[in-house]
Copies of this chain bind each other. A is one copy, B any other.
Amino acid sequence: MSDRFFASDNASGVHPEVMAAIASANAGHAVGYGDDPWTASATKALGRVFGRKSSVYFVYNGTGANVLGIQSALRAHNAVICTDCSHINVDECGAVERFTGAKLLPVPSPSGRLDPARIEPLLSVSGVPHHSQPRVVSITQATEVGTVYSVDEIRELSRFCRRHDLVLHMDGARISNAAVSLGLGLYEASGKLGVDILSLGGTKNGLMFGEAVVFFRSDLADEFEFIRKQGTQLASKMRYIAAGFEALFATDLWERNARHANEMATYLCERLDTLPEVEVVQPVHANGCFVKLPQSAIPRVRKSFFFYVWDEPLGVVRFMCSYDTTREDVDALVAAIGDAVGGVQ
Protein backbone atom coordinates (compact mmCIF):
# COMPACT_ATOMS: atom_id res chain seq x y z
CA MET A 1 0.00 0.00 0.00
CA SER A 2 1.40 3.36 -1.01
CA ASP A 3 1.78 6.00 1.67
CA ARG A 4 0.62 8.62 -0.84
CA PHE A 5 -3.14 9.16 -0.75
CA PHE A 6 -5.58 10.35 -3.38
CA ALA A 7 -8.48 9.93 -0.97
CA SER A 8 -8.78 13.57 -0.07
CA ASP A 9 -6.72 16.71 -0.24
CA ASN A 10 -6.88 16.77 3.54
CA ALA A 11 -4.57 13.76 3.63
CA SER A 12 -1.68 16.16 3.09
CA GLY A 13 0.05 17.62 6.07
CA VAL A 14 0.77 21.24 6.84
CA HIS A 15 2.67 23.25 4.26
CA PRO A 16 6.16 24.15 5.58
CA GLU A 17 5.52 27.89 5.25
CA VAL A 18 2.34 27.52 7.30
CA MET A 19 4.12 25.41 9.88
CA ALA A 20 6.83 28.05 10.17
CA ALA A 21 4.22 30.74 10.74
CA ILE A 22 2.55 28.68 13.44
CA ALA A 23 5.88 28.11 15.15
CA SER A 24 6.71 31.79 15.03
CA ALA A 25 3.37 32.60 16.69
CA ASN A 26 4.51 30.55 19.65
CA ALA A 27 6.09 33.51 21.41
CA GLY A 28 5.10 34.60 24.86
CA HIS A 29 1.67 35.30 26.25
CA ALA A 30 -1.36 36.43 24.29
CA VAL A 31 -4.92 37.14 25.28
CA GLY A 32 -7.18 34.27 24.38
CA TYR A 33 -10.21 34.02 22.12
CA GLY A 34 -8.83 36.18 19.34
CA ASP A 35 -7.81 39.31 21.15
CA ASP A 36 -4.17 38.84 20.18
CA PRO A 37 -1.85 40.53 17.66
CA TRP A 38 -1.70 37.56 15.29
CA THR A 39 -5.47 37.44 14.93
CA ALA A 40 -5.58 41.20 14.50
CA SER A 41 -2.96 41.05 11.79
CA ALA A 42 -4.51 38.11 9.95
CA THR A 43 -7.99 39.63 10.12
CA LYS A 44 -6.62 42.84 8.67
CA ALA A 45 -4.76 40.99 5.95
CA LEU A 46 -7.84 39.03 4.98
CA GLY A 47 -9.83 42.24 5.04
CA ARG A 48 -7.47 43.56 2.37
CA VAL A 49 -8.03 40.41 0.35
CA PHE A 50 -11.82 40.42 0.61
CA GLY A 51 -12.57 44.11 0.50
CA ARG A 52 -13.74 46.88 2.75
CA LYS A 53 -17.20 45.54 3.28
CA SER A 54 -16.09 42.09 4.35
CA SER A 55 -15.83 40.81 7.89
CA VAL A 56 -13.78 37.74 8.70
CA TYR A 57 -14.15 35.28 11.57
CA PHE A 58 -11.96 32.28 12.25
CA VAL A 59 -13.52 29.01 13.26
CA TYR A 60 -12.21 25.47 13.64
CA ASN A 61 -13.39 23.64 10.55
CA GLY A 62 -15.49 23.54 7.44
CA THR A 63 -18.59 22.02 8.96
CA GLY A 64 -18.47 24.71 11.64
CA ALA A 65 -18.06 27.44 9.05
CA ASN A 66 -20.91 26.16 6.91
CA VAL A 67 -23.32 25.61 9.77
CA LEU A 68 -22.69 28.87 11.58
CA GLY A 69 -22.49 30.96 8.44
CA ILE A 70 -25.84 29.61 7.29
CA GLN A 71 -27.30 29.97 10.79
CA SER A 72 -26.51 33.67 10.66
CA ALA A 73 -28.78 34.11 7.69
CA LEU A 74 -31.93 32.27 8.61
CA ARG A 75 -34.45 31.18 11.19
CA ALA A 76 -35.68 27.70 11.96
CA HIS A 77 -38.69 27.88 9.66
CA ASN A 78 -36.50 28.61 6.66
CA ALA A 79 -35.01 26.26 4.12
CA VAL A 80 -31.61 25.98 2.45
CA ILE A 81 -31.49 25.11 -1.22
CA CYS A 82 -28.43 23.05 -2.18
CA THR A 83 -27.44 20.22 -4.48
CA ASP A 84 -28.13 16.64 -3.51
CA CYS A 85 -24.39 15.90 -3.48
CA SER A 86 -23.44 18.97 -1.43
CA HIS A 87 -21.24 18.50 1.61
CA ILE A 88 -23.84 20.10 3.86
CA ASN A 89 -26.45 17.63 2.64
CA VAL A 90 -24.41 14.46 2.61
CA ASP A 91 -21.25 14.72 4.66
CA GLU A 92 -21.98 16.70 7.80
CA CYS A 93 -24.17 14.19 9.63
CA GLY A 94 -27.15 16.50 9.44
CA ALA A 95 -25.35 19.35 11.22
CA VAL A 96 -27.21 22.12 9.40
CA GLU A 97 -30.61 20.76 10.34
CA ARG A 98 -29.41 20.15 13.88
CA PHE A 99 -27.96 23.61 14.49
CA THR A 100 -30.40 25.74 12.57
CA GLY A 101 -33.63 23.74 12.74
CA ALA A 102 -34.04 24.58 9.07
CA LYS A 103 -34.82 22.17 6.26
CA LEU A 104 -32.46 21.34 3.44
CA LEU A 105 -34.02 21.23 -0.01
CA PRO A 106 -31.53 19.17 -2.02
CA VAL A 107 -31.76 19.48 -5.78
CA PRO A 108 -30.51 16.66 -7.99
CA SER A 109 -27.48 17.90 -9.92
CA PRO A 110 -25.14 15.55 -11.77
CA SER A 111 -22.78 18.45 -12.50
CA GLY A 112 -22.67 19.49 -8.86
CA ARG A 113 -23.98 22.94 -9.79
CA LEU A 114 -27.19 24.81 -9.09
CA ASP A 115 -28.86 27.26 -11.41
CA PRO A 116 -31.92 29.51 -11.18
CA ALA A 117 -34.05 27.13 -13.23
CA ARG A 118 -33.60 24.41 -10.61
CA ILE A 119 -34.23 26.82 -7.75
CA GLU A 120 -37.27 28.69 -9.00
CA PRO A 121 -39.83 25.88 -8.62
CA LEU A 122 -38.90 25.58 -4.94
CA LEU A 123 -40.00 29.17 -4.35
CA SER A 124 -43.65 28.46 -5.12
CA VAL A 125 -44.25 27.74 -1.41
CA SER A 126 -43.35 31.31 -0.56
CA GLY A 127 -45.65 32.80 2.05
CA VAL A 128 -47.52 29.58 2.82
CA PRO A 129 -47.07 28.70 6.50
CA HIS A 130 -47.25 24.94 5.93
CA HIS A 131 -43.92 24.93 4.15
CA SER A 132 -40.34 25.78 5.11
CA GLN A 133 -39.51 29.09 3.49
CA PRO A 134 -36.42 29.12 1.25
CA ARG A 135 -33.95 31.69 2.50
CA VAL A 136 -30.43 30.53 1.67
CA VAL A 137 -28.97 29.13 -1.53
CA SER A 138 -25.77 27.25 -0.79
CA ILE A 139 -23.33 26.45 -3.56
CA THR A 140 -19.96 24.72 -3.35
CA GLN A 141 -16.99 26.11 -5.25
CA ALA A 142 -15.19 24.05 -6.51
CA THR A 143 -18.10 21.59 -6.40
CA GLU A 144 -18.08 18.19 -4.80
CA VAL A 145 -17.64 16.59 -8.22
CA GLY A 146 -14.62 18.64 -9.18
CA THR A 147 -16.36 21.12 -11.44
CA VAL A 148 -16.20 24.91 -11.09
CA TYR A 149 -19.02 27.42 -11.53
CA SER A 150 -18.15 29.99 -14.18
CA VAL A 151 -18.20 33.70 -13.40
CA ASP A 152 -21.41 34.08 -15.34
CA GLU A 153 -23.08 31.23 -13.55
CA ILE A 154 -22.39 32.72 -10.14
CA ARG A 155 -23.41 36.19 -11.26
CA GLU A 156 -26.68 34.82 -12.56
CA LEU A 157 -27.28 32.99 -9.28
CA SER A 158 -26.50 36.03 -7.17
CA ARG A 159 -28.79 38.25 -9.24
CA PHE A 160 -31.51 35.64 -8.88
CA CYS A 161 -30.95 35.49 -5.11
CA ARG A 162 -31.10 39.23 -4.73
CA ARG A 163 -34.32 39.37 -6.73
CA HIS A 164 -35.94 36.78 -4.46
CA ASP A 165 -34.48 37.99 -1.17
CA LEU A 166 -32.33 34.88 -0.84
CA VAL A 167 -28.90 34.80 0.74
CA LEU A 168 -26.12 33.25 -1.36
CA HIS A 169 -23.74 31.09 0.65
CA MET A 170 -20.62 29.58 -0.85
CA ASP A 171 -18.98 26.54 0.68
CA GLY A 172 -15.43 27.41 -0.31
CA ALA A 173 -13.64 24.39 1.07
CA ARG A 174 -11.78 24.48 -2.26
CA ILE A 175 -12.30 28.11 -3.23
CA SER A 176 -8.55 28.46 -3.88
CA ASN A 177 -8.64 25.72 -6.49
CA ALA A 178 -11.69 27.32 -8.09
CA ALA A 179 -10.20 30.81 -8.13
CA VAL A 180 -7.04 29.56 -9.79
CA SER A 181 -9.14 27.65 -12.28
CA LEU A 182 -11.03 30.83 -13.11
CA GLY A 183 -7.89 32.97 -13.15
CA LEU A 184 -9.32 35.18 -10.42
CA GLY A 185 -8.36 36.47 -7.03
CA LEU A 186 -10.26 35.21 -3.98
CA TYR A 187 -12.50 38.25 -3.68
CA GLU A 188 -13.07 38.33 -7.42
CA ALA A 189 -14.24 34.73 -7.17
CA SER A 190 -16.63 35.29 -4.27
CA GLY A 191 -17.89 38.58 -2.83
CA LYS A 192 -17.41 40.50 -6.05
CA LEU A 193 -19.68 38.04 -7.84
CA GLY A 194 -22.42 38.58 -5.30
CA VAL A 195 -21.72 35.87 -2.78
CA ASP A 196 -23.03 36.98 0.64
CA ILE A 197 -21.32 34.47 2.94
CA LEU A 198 -18.19 32.48 2.19
CA SER A 199 -16.85 29.49 4.07
CA LEU A 200 -13.19 30.09 3.35
CA GLY A 201 -11.38 26.78 3.48
CA GLY A 202 -7.66 26.38 3.88
CA THR A 203 -7.17 23.00 5.53
CA LYS A 204 -7.31 21.20 2.20
CA ASN A 205 -4.79 23.67 0.80
CA GLY A 206 -2.02 23.42 3.38
CA LEU A 207 -3.31 24.66 6.74
CA MET A 208 -3.19 22.62 9.92
CA PHE A 209 -6.68 23.55 11.03
CA GLY A 210 -9.11 26.44 10.94
CA GLU A 211 -11.57 27.86 8.48
CA ALA A 212 -12.93 31.37 8.14
CA VAL A 213 -16.43 32.68 7.68
CA VAL A 214 -16.32 35.76 5.46
CA PHE A 215 -19.42 37.95 5.37
CA PHE A 216 -19.90 40.42 2.54
CA ARG A 217 -23.07 41.85 4.10
CA SER A 218 -22.56 43.38 7.50
CA ASP A 219 -26.17 42.82 8.60
CA LEU A 220 -25.61 39.07 8.44
CA ALA A 221 -22.48 39.29 10.57
CA ASP A 222 -24.03 41.39 13.30
CA GLU A 223 -24.23 38.76 15.96
CA PHE A 224 -21.77 36.25 14.62
CA GLU A 225 -19.43 36.51 17.58
CA PHE A 226 -22.16 35.08 19.79
CA ILE A 227 -23.18 32.48 17.24
CA ARG A 228 -19.58 31.33 16.98
CA LYS A 229 -19.07 31.08 20.71
CA GLN A 230 -22.34 29.29 21.36
CA GLY A 231 -21.60 27.08 18.37
CA THR A 232 -18.41 25.78 20.12
CA GLN A 233 -16.24 27.22 17.34
CA LEU A 234 -14.35 29.94 19.21
CA ALA A 235 -10.72 28.91 19.66
CA SER A 236 -9.01 30.02 22.85
CA LYS A 237 -5.50 30.06 21.37
CA MET A 238 -6.69 31.59 18.16
CA ARG A 239 -3.28 32.99 17.26
CA TYR A 240 -2.25 29.63 15.77
CA ILE A 241 -5.21 29.56 13.40
CA ALA A 242 -4.63 33.19 12.50
CA ALA A 243 -0.93 32.76 11.83
CA GLY A 244 -1.67 29.93 9.43
CA PHE A 245 -4.29 31.91 7.59
CA GLU A 246 -2.03 34.89 7.14
CA ALA A 247 0.75 32.69 5.83
CA LEU A 248 -1.58 31.07 3.32
CA PHE A 249 -3.85 33.86 2.17
CA ALA A 250 -1.90 37.07 2.62
CA THR A 251 0.80 35.76 0.32
CA ASP A 252 0.58 33.90 -2.96
CA LEU A 253 0.89 30.55 -1.20
CA TRP A 254 -2.82 29.74 -1.59
CA GLU A 255 -2.41 30.26 -5.31
CA ARG A 256 0.79 28.30 -5.71
CA ASN A 257 -0.65 25.40 -3.74
CA ALA A 258 -3.95 25.36 -5.57
CA ARG A 259 -2.36 25.75 -8.97
CA HIS A 260 -0.13 22.80 -8.34
CA ALA A 261 -3.00 20.63 -7.12
CA ASN A 262 -5.09 21.56 -10.14
CA GLU A 263 -2.23 20.78 -12.50
CA MET A 264 -1.73 17.40 -10.95
CA ALA A 265 -5.44 16.60 -11.38
CA THR A 266 -5.31 17.66 -15.00
CA TYR A 267 -2.20 15.59 -15.57
CA LEU A 268 -3.83 12.60 -13.86
CA CYS A 269 -6.96 12.81 -15.94
CA GLU A 270 -5.08 13.27 -19.16
CA ARG A 271 -3.10 10.15 -18.46
CA LEU A 272 -6.12 8.17 -17.33
CA ASP A 273 -7.99 9.20 -20.45
CA THR A 274 -5.53 7.24 -22.53
CA LEU A 275 -6.26 4.00 -20.67
CA PRO A 276 -8.79 1.59 -22.10
CA GLU A 277 -11.95 1.04 -20.06
CA VAL A 278 -11.32 4.17 -18.00
CA GLU A 279 -13.72 7.01 -18.53
CA VAL A 280 -13.28 10.50 -17.11
CA VAL A 281 -16.84 11.42 -16.13
CA GLN A 282 -16.49 15.03 -15.02
CA PRO A 283 -14.50 17.83 -16.62
CA VAL A 284 -11.40 18.58 -14.53
CA HIS A 285 -11.85 22.16 -13.47
CA ALA A 286 -9.97 21.97 -10.20
CA ASN A 287 -8.07 19.35 -8.20
CA GLY A 288 -10.45 16.40 -8.34
CA CYS A 289 -10.59 13.67 -10.90
CA PHE A 290 -13.73 11.54 -11.23
CA VAL A 291 -13.38 8.45 -13.37
CA LYS A 292 -15.36 5.35 -14.09
CA LEU A 293 -13.45 2.13 -13.66
CA PRO A 294 -14.49 -1.43 -14.36
CA GLN A 295 -15.99 -2.75 -11.12
CA SER A 296 -13.46 -5.53 -10.81
CA ALA A 297 -10.57 -3.10 -11.19
CA ILE A 298 -11.50 -1.04 -8.15
CA PRO A 299 -10.44 -3.49 -5.44
CA ARG A 300 -7.22 -4.15 -7.32
CA VAL A 301 -6.24 -0.49 -7.38
CA ARG A 302 -7.23 -0.26 -3.73
CA LYS A 303 -4.56 -2.74 -2.84
CA SER A 304 -2.01 -0.10 -3.75
CA PHE A 305 -3.78 3.21 -3.15
CA PHE A 306 -6.32 4.51 -0.68
CA PHE A 307 -9.15 6.46 -2.34
CA TYR A 308 -12.95 6.73 -2.22
CA VAL A 309 -15.57 5.18 -4.42
CA TRP A 310 -17.92 8.02 -5.30
CA ASP A 311 -20.76 6.07 -6.90
CA GLU A 312 -20.72 2.39 -6.06
CA PRO A 313 -23.27 1.13 -8.60
CA LEU A 314 -21.73 3.14 -11.45
CA GLY A 315 -18.13 2.33 -10.55
CA VAL A 316 -17.16 5.99 -10.35
CA VAL A 317 -14.19 6.76 -8.11
CA ARG A 318 -12.71 10.01 -6.90
CA PHE A 319 -9.03 10.96 -6.90
CA MET A 320 -8.13 14.21 -5.17
CA CYS A 321 -4.80 15.92 -5.80
CA SER A 322 -3.16 18.14 -3.28
CA TYR A 323 -0.52 20.83 -3.03
CA ASP A 324 2.07 18.16 -2.34
CA THR A 325 0.97 15.54 -4.85
CA THR A 326 3.94 14.84 -7.09
CA ARG A 327 4.17 13.83 -10.71
CA GLU A 328 5.66 10.58 -9.44
CA ASP A 329 2.63 10.00 -7.22
CA VAL A 330 0.39 10.42 -10.23
CA ASP A 331 2.50 8.17 -12.42
CA ALA A 332 2.41 5.46 -9.77
CA LEU A 333 -1.36 5.70 -9.48
CA VAL A 334 -1.81 5.59 -13.25
CA ALA A 335 0.44 2.57 -13.43
CA ALA A 336 -1.59 0.80 -10.74
CA ILE A 337 -4.83 1.58 -12.56
CA GLY A 338 -3.33 0.49 -15.86
CA ASP A 339 -2.33 -2.83 -14.32
CA ALA A 340 -5.75 -3.31 -12.75
CA VAL A 341 -7.60 -2.49 -15.93
CA GLY A 342 -5.20 -4.53 -18.02
CA GLY A 343 -5.85 -7.45 -15.73
CA VAL A 344 -9.52 -7.01 -16.41
CA GLN A 345 -9.18 -7.53 -20.09
Minimum CB distance partner of A224 in chain B: B129
Q: Is the CB of A32 within 8 A of B10?
A: yes
Task: Knowing A8-B32, A32-B11, A103-B97, say if A61 contacts B129 (CB, 8 Å).
Answer: no
Minimum CB distance partner of A133 in chain B: B226
| Cβ-defined partner of A77 (8 Å) among B62, B226, B240 | B226
Minimum CB distance partner of A103 in chain B: B94
A314 at the interface (CB under 8 A from B): no
A251 at the interface (CB under 8 A from B): no
Q: Is the CB of B13 within 8 A of A235?
A: no
Counting contact residues on chain A (CB < 8 A from B), the size range is: 35 or more
Q: Is the CB of A227 within 8 A of B77?
A: yes
Q: For A236, what are the chain B residues with a Cβ–Cβ distance below 8 Å?
A: 8, 10, 61-62, 203-204, 209
A302 at the interface (CB under 8 A from B): no
Alpha-carbon separation in the docked complex, A30 to B8 (Å): 10
| Interface set, chain A 204-261, CB cutoff 8 A to B | 204, 208-209, 223, 225-237, 239-240
| Interface set, chain A 293-320, CB cutoff 8 A to B | 306, 312
| Cβ-defined partner of A98 (8 Å) among B25, B101, B225 | B101
Alpha-carbon separation in the docked complex, A124 to B309 (Å): 12
Q: For A67, what are the chain B residues with a Cβ–Cβ distance below 8 Å?
A: 232
> Which 7 interchain pairs have the tightest Cβ spacing?
A77-B226, A94-B103, A94-B132, A98-B101, A93-B230, A64-B232, A129-B225
